[in-house]
Amino acid sequence: MKICITCWKYVESNKTPPTALINGLEFAPIPKNLSDLTPFEERLCIAVLYVMKIKELGVDQQFGLHGHCVLVPVDVHHMTTCSPRPVSGSGTIQVALMLKR
């Protein structure tokens, strides 16, 4: 089982981590009318686009934000009158950087 370092510290001291499911921190159920949306329809519902850099944190294989998170508002009228970019052309790219040592 993989567990993050923060939760591991709580478990070692016989305490419940604050982000545990037992504390009521879980995702709300998705309403029925939203659970059947296609990726195209989901993109039409997005009012804000998120631009962020996500990288691996430490040795526990978790991911986190690095740097700033930029929120770009979307003109809803423009978005509903023209088709959005396809998911495959969303501009998301995965980059692997190698450092010189």
List pLDDT tens digits, range 10-32. 999 999 888 888 887 777 888 88
Count of CA atoms in the C-beta half-sphere (13 A) of 27: 3
The verdict on pTM exceeding 0.85 is no
Mean pLDDT of the chain: 77
Whole-number Å distance between alpha carbons of 62 and 57: 6
Whole-number Å distance between alpha carbons of 26 and 45: 23
- Tokens matching residue 92: 């998301």
Which own/partner contact pairs does 56-60 have at CB distance under 8 Å and 24+ positions apart?
58/5, 60/2, 60/3, 60/4, 60/5
Residues of the chain with pLDDT under 70: 76, 78-101
**Residue for token pair 């949306």:** 37
